[in-house]
Amino acid sequence: MEFGSPGMIAILVICGFLAGLIDSVVGGGGLIGIPALLAAGIPVHLLLGSNKLAGTLCSFTSTASFMKSGKIDFSLVKVLIPFSIIGAVSGTLTVRQVPSEFLKPLVIVMLVVITIYTLFKKAWGDVSTFKGSTAKTRLIGVAVAFGIGFYDGFFGPGTGSFLIFAFLMMGFEFVTAAGNAKVLNFASNISSLITFIALGSVSYSYGLIMGIPMIIGAVVGSRIAIRKGASYIRPLFITVTVILIGKQIWDTMHS
């Protein structure tokens, strides 16, 4: 399929919308976006950077939607953003030097734990029990922001799930946990994207063709999430996490 052909553009537009719809709430858009870019014929060395461009547009849009609804705790996340940025840049630079394949078994285990924990805590995330930002929560948050930011820049799959889980553990309900997660995800995305651009690893044409419909998907997805709350986010969170587990197992078995 030639670049710019109607078929290629259709693949990227449809997949971009679906990726944005999912990624805007619980992450995991790369499950759709990366295979779509590969199917469209993108050169492999431009794959991650171009997907990061599309993902950054999506995370910016969903962050703006959650911000407008007031479903972000800025007193906490404003402290965490710099550490997410530092982590993401460090991870993006590291992945150029060290293969990320060794992380797959660990990611599978962590995603399984998250899924089981969420399934058994049925009312978890329905009501906020967060007591406010304290020295302890900020310290935990800094470690989480840097660690998951590094992971996002270095490897990526499951970043949204890990961030939401971390905020749920702090006591936030699902909607605010998703809003907080999108802020940090946007911070790590844009800093990682800038690093990819500096390294010459981004195709703007591929990234924008998929990124623009991702913006539309992000608007739709975040609005549904804000309106329906945990009844929508919880099953979507579990579904995407289970799919991520399956994909990581498949990739590990066939690598």
pLDDT for 48: 85
179 residue type, one letter: G
Give domain status of residue 11, yes or no: yes
Give domain status of residue 33, yes or no: yes
Percent pLDDT > 90 in the chain is: 49
User: Domain range spanning residue 85?
Assistant: 6-253
Q: What does the mean pLDDT of the chain come to?
A: 88
pLDDT for 100: 67
Which residue would you say has higher pLDDT here, 69 or 45? 69
CA angle 85, 80, 233 (to 5 degrees): 95
Give domain status of residue 65, yes or no: yes
Our CA dihedral for 163, 167, 173, 176, rounded to 10 degrees, sits at -70
pLDDT for 1: 46
Give domain status of residue 1, yes or no: no
pLDDT digits (tens, 9 = 90+) for 76-115: 999 999 999 999 899 888 877 777 677 778 788 888 988 8
197 residue type, one letter: I
Give domain status of residue 175, yes or no: yes
Q: Do you know the residue count of the chain?
A: 255
- 124 phi, psi to nearest 5 deg: -65, 130
Give domain status of residue 31, yes or no: yes
Number of domains in the chain: 1
